[in-house]
Structure formats: structure tokens, C-alpha cells
Chains A and B, each alone.
Chain A
Amino acid sequence: MDLPEWLAFGMAGFTLAFIVINAMIMSTALYTWFERRALGRFQVRLGPNRWGPFGLLQPLADIIKLITKEDTIPDEADRPAFTVAPVVLLLPMLLVVAVVPFGEDSFLGRLNVGILFIVGVTSISTIAIFVGGWASGNKYAMLGAMRGVAMLISYEVPMALAIAGVLLLVGPALPADAEGFAGISSLALSKIVESQVLPFLLVSPLAFLVFVAAASAEMSRTPFDQIEAESELGSGYHTEYSGIKFAVFQLAEFMAPIVTSIIIVTLFLGGTRGFSPVPEQIWFILKVFVVIFLLLWVRATWPRLRIDQIMAFAWKGLFGLAILNLFVVATEIEFLRTSDGTLSTGSLWLMAAINWPVTLVSVVVLARLLGHGRMDRPEPSPSPLANMYAEAE
């Protein structure tokens, strides 16, 4: 008996979604354990090590605790919005994973406009944060939400521009094949991975820098963690949340680094590409792990910027760098591309050789411009108003 097509499609989709969502949640749980242990090591302490081998069952304990906690909703809160916000925040994280290639054939949705989809979908989180903060009816949450909206929207611009720089490198879409399917456009993630003979990190480091900075602002991690800013705002937009809603917020928040690392790996580190005896999936996970660790390292070390500095950094700094990158890459491609519009490996190397100096120079110039020479400190001179040495005479 044949199943009707929609049913078969639905069942398959549901099963796959079930697997992927649960895999994401499990890996997030694992990640929380990893993050806490690694942060512990960075901070010369131990991190959770009590429950289970090496403390591995700690996330389970956390989840049980959060779920069994009382779920309070403040009187002032806008109940429907308050309830729906955590789910809305979690949604884009899961949707992004759907289009990422984990291996040559490990796809969930082979979307022709994958990267566009990602940029579109991740901007939902802005709305979720604002709704959550607004609906709480708390001034701290409101402040966090306001900061969130301002910051996330600003950083989407340089992020999109950095992605545009990458897309230039990918080259034109393949022509439609004989069966009439449209060719894979350069917006598809698989195409991006495929064209990274040389990881784009090497080819255009400026785009990488801009993207990583913007992405860590998007997921609100130090030095851009203004949305939560626990030393300033309690915990920002989710100040009023508790119980399972808080758990969902935390889940989304901890999932963000994973998702971001996945995107970074796909765009800049050659995605699933690797050397042959090791399967592609392993390469992919390995790279993601390295990026996650780097983000964690930064988080463990740097303090955060102030909100106006963050905005200035986005518009005066990253925006300019992204435009510059776009311009440089476009010029290079104009001169270097072959007749069918693609780039040879040799010209990729050449571009790398040009782009690295450009990156260094532009970062230095930017630091000059933004720093306003504030960094050097004059020799202190005692104030004339009171001087104990003078009195002793």
C-alpha cells in the first residue's frame, strides 16, 4: 500500500525533525557541561564534577531542577506574550540547523537559498528578546530588551555584509541541468562549502573578523553581552522568568554558540572538508568544537563594552570593515576571475596574499580612529591643593 505523498512526507519530516531537535538539545546539554568545566579551568577552579562521571550528569540535574521549579508569572506581565517568548527564541536556533550540511549527503533540507534563510531566520530572535523583556513588566527586563533590539539589529548589517563578501568568492550559480532543475545557486550552503578549496578564513580574513565579532554580538556573549549584563541588569530580558520558561531561554542561549560555530565553520573553515581517512562528519564536529572553544576562551577573558561603545563599534568599525572587505574582494574578483566566472586555486592564494595585509592595515587604522589616542597615560603630577611632603617641611 502506498502512503499518500503528503503523509509520507510529513512522517519523514517529523521523524527527522524529532531526531535533529533532540540531538541539538542533547548537544546543548553536553555543551553546558563543557562550558562550565572549561570556564572552571580557566578560572582555576573545578567546575561541576560531582554528579556522574566527571560531572557529566550535571545538565540532567539542572534540567530536573528547572522543570520542577515553580513557574511564576508576574502580575504585571502580558501573559500570552510572556509565555510565547522563550519558544520564539528557541525556534530560529533549531531552524538554522535544518539547512546546514553536516557531510556531503547529510542534509536535512537542501535549500537553494540556505544562507539567506539563515540570515532571515536568526533575526527572529530579536523579536523574541524584545517580547520577553516587554512582557515581563520589569524595568530591568525592559532595559535589557531595549539594548537587545538596538544591538541585534545593528549587528545584523555588518554580518550580512560579511556574508556578502563570502558569497562573492563562491562564484556564480551553476546553470540549470538537463532535467530542468535549477542549478545550485551560490546561496546554498553546500555550494559555499564546495567552493572552499582554500578555507575562506585564509582568503578573506577581514570578513571572518567582522563575522565573528558580529556573530558573538548576535548571541550576546562577551564582550558584547549587553542584553543580559548580569552585573548591570540582574539578568536582562529574562529577569522575571523562572521554571521551565527560564530553562527554554537558557537552552536557546546555550544553543546559540553551537549554532554560531556551525555557521562559522560552514562559511569560513571549509565546513565538512577534510582529509580523507577521517569521515567528513568528524571533521565538521572537530572544527565546530575548536570554534566553540575559541569563543569560550574569549568569554573567559574579556570584559564587556558599554552599550554606546558597542553601537559605535558596529556602525563606525565593523560596518566600515565589511564595506571595505566587500570592495576589495569585488575588485580582486573582477581582475582575477576566469571566463566562466569562477576563481582558480592559484588566484585564491593570490587573494589571500593581498587580503592579509589589507586586514592588518585596516584594523590598525580603525584602532587609531576609534581609539582617539586615549590609550597613552601621562606621568602623574601631584595636585597642588594638598601635599603631605610640603607640609612636613
Chain B
Amino acid sequence: MYGIGLLKGLAVTMRNMVSPGRQFTLHQYPDRRVGLLGLAKQANTNLVSYVLREPAMAAKSLIGLATVKDRMPQHPRFRGEEFVWYEERCTGCASCAKYCPLGIIEIVTHPSGDAMQEGEKYAIDVFDIDIGRCMFCGLCVEACPYDAIHMGSGFEESTYVREELVIDVDRLRSAPKRPSTWFRPQLEGKGYQPLDGQEVSWKDVGRHQMPDDSELEDRWAKR
């Protein structure tokens, strides 16, 4: 009343301007403007030694031109593009294709003649995922009984042509193996972070511990 509410509002905005209690809503990406302090922090030195070591960069930062690379903070469970697919694990059962709500996975296989003892493995001819229509729901990942397909963690797949958004089997083979931990709780808790860049081999992504050689021999002997 009497404009006191208005003044209170002004106080709130001013407080948020001079010292935002919480962080900014926005995150600068892919590079971030930094001041001198930020630069020194990134180089892991104190201010003075940084200025002495890299005067050019320091001067740049003073007129607000210095940038450093940065990325979005992201949880390991983030469901991203670039599916991570392990050919070694995939049997071509096409469960993933069946469970995709949009039906955008296409799989063509033929009997490979490999591994006849275990019941013959199928060779994958076609494994197309049309990520232009994918909604990254992760149901395919949930459906795969062999832990062969995982969500990726990237989100920078933009192209100029729609066709390029179809990920084919070659791209799946060569894509970096940095699976998201979505629906793969076994990957969690090991301190694994897809953004760190370390890759995970097919042996480690399974739900079950891989038996070691002696155990395997043992098992085979019993058969």
C-alpha cells in the first residue's frame, strides 16, 4: 500500500542485480567469456604469475575478449544423440526396433556362420537409426536384452540435410563409445562420466560381470 510494495519490488530486483543469490540462468556455450580471475583460475595459477606468463591473454581479458572453452554441465544419465552401439554384443534380435514408439530403427541381418557353437550369430547388414525423428525416449535402450545399444551424450548433431541424420551401421561402429548411463545403472557408481572422454569397452557395459577365462573353461567343461 502507498507504493511500499512497489519499493519492495525495486529492492528485490536491485539485490538480484548486484549479487545474484543463485547462479545465472544461462550457461555460456560452447565458449565462455572470462575475466582475468577466471583465466588465472583455469591456468591453475595466481593472478600475478598468470599476467607475467601470458600478458597478451591477460590484456585481452581486460577488454572482455578472452574466451575459454566450456560445455554444458550434464548428468551422466543425459539421453543424448549418437547412439553407442556395441557390435560385439548385438545379436541382431531387433528388440530395439520393435520397441521404438516411432519405428525408426531399421535392422537387416543374415546368418553369419560365425560362432555356430553358441547357436550362430547373425551378421548386421543394415542398422539405421533415423535420429531426425528420434525423440530420445530411450525405450530402445531399455528393450535391448544384451546391453548392446546405449544412449549417447552429445547434442550437437545438426546438419544441413535431413538425410544425414540417419545414422547407419558404419557410423554406429565408428562412433566414440561413450555411453550415457541411462537405464544402465551398472555404469553408474564407478565414477564414470561420459563427458570425460574415456571410452568404455564392450566387455564393461554389460549388466553382468564378464566371467574370467578359468571360469569360462570350467563352464564349458561341465557341458
**Contact, chains A and B (beta carbon distance below 8 A):** yes
Contacts of A297 in B (CB 8 A): 10, 13-14
**Does B16 reach chain A (CB closer than 8 Å)?**
yes
Asked if A309 is an interface residue, CB under 8 A from chain B, the answer is no
Cross-chain pairs A/B with CB under 8 angstroms, 26 sampled: A41-B17, A42-B13, A42-B17, A44-B20, A44-B22, A44-B24, A44-B25, A45-B26, A46-B24, A49-B33, A49-B64, A50-B33, A53-B63, A55-B64, A297-B10, A297-B14, A298-B10, A300-B13, A301-B6, A301-B12, A301-B13, A302-B6, A363-B2, A363-B3, A367-B1, A375-B1
Q: Does B46 contact A (CB under 8 A)?
A: no
A45 touches B65 (CB 8 A): no
Interface residues of A in 292-315 (CB under 8 A from B): 297-298, 300-302
Q: A42-B17, A45-B26 are in contact. Are A364 and B2 (CB under 8 A)?
A: yes
On A, residues with C-beta under 8 Å from B are: 38, 41-42, 44-46, 49-50, 53-55, 297-298, 300-302, 363-364, 367, 371, 375
Say whether B28 faces chain A, with CB atoms less than 8 Å apart: yes
**In the bound complex, do residue A367 and residue B24 qualify as a contact, i.e. CB atoms below 8 Å apart?**
no
Specify the chain A residue showing the minimal Cβ separation from B12: A301
Dominant SS at the A interface? helix
Expressed in whole angstroms, the Cα–Cα distance for A333 and B14 within the complex equals 39
**Are A53's CB and B16's CB within 8 A?**
no
Shortest Cβ distance from A341 into chain B, in angstroms? 36
Interface residues of B (CB under 8 A from A): 1-3, 6, 9-10, 12-14, 16-17, 20, 22, 24-26, 28, 33, 63-65
- The total of interchain contacts (Cβ-Cβ below 8 angstroms) comes to 45
Shortest beta-carbon distance from A7 to chain B in Å: 45
| Cβ contact within 8 Å between B24 and A301 | no
Pairwise interchain contact A367-B2, C-beta atoms closer than 8 A: yes
Contact A44 B10 (CB under 8 A): no
Alpha-carbon distance A55/B13, docked complex (angstroms): 23
In the complex, what distance in Å separates the CA atom of A41 from the CA atom of B13? 9
Shortest CB-to-CB span from A302 to chain B, Å, is 6
With A44-B24, A45-B24, A371-B1 already in contact, the answer to whether A54 and B10 are too (CB < 8 A) is no
Taking CB atoms, residues of chain A closer than 8 Å to B24 are 44-46
Of all chain A residues, the one with the shortest Cβ separation from B62 is A53
Would you give the shortest CB distance from B64 to chain A, in whole angstroms?
A: 4
Closest 5 A/B residue pairs (Cβ): A54-B64, A53-B63, A53-B64, A301-B13, A367-B2
- Give A370 Cβ to nearest chain B Cβ, in Å: 11
Query: Which residues on A sit within 8 Å (CB–CB) of B25?
Result: 44-45
Contact of A301 with B2 in the complex, beta carbons under 8 Å:
no
Of the residues A38, A50, A55, A367, contact of B3 by C-beta under 8 Å: A367
**How far is it, in angstroms, between the C-alpha of A42 and the C-alpha of B28 when the chains are bound?**
18
- Rounded to whole Å, the gap between the CB of B8 and the closest CB of chain A is 10
* Given A49-B64, A54-B63; 10 other pairs, CB 8 A cutoff: A41-B17, A42-B17, A46-B24, A53-B63, A54-B64, A298-B10, A300-B13, A302-B6, A371-B1, A375-B1
CA distance A367 to B1 in the complex (A): 8
- In the complex, what distance in Å separates the CA atom of A38 from the CA atom of B9? 17
Residues on B with C-beta less than 8 A from A53 are 63-65
Measured CA separation A330–B10 after assembly (Å): 34
A302 with B9: in contact, given A44-B20, A371-B1 (CB under 8 Å)?
yes
Query: Once bound together, how far apart are the Cα atoms of A55 and B1, in whole Å?
Result: 40
CA A371 to CA B5, docked complex, whole Å: 13
Chain B residues with Cβ below 8 Å from A301 are 6, 9-10, 12-13
Chain A positions within 8 Å of B1 at CB level: 367, 371, 375
CB neighbours (8 Å) of A38 from chain B are: 17
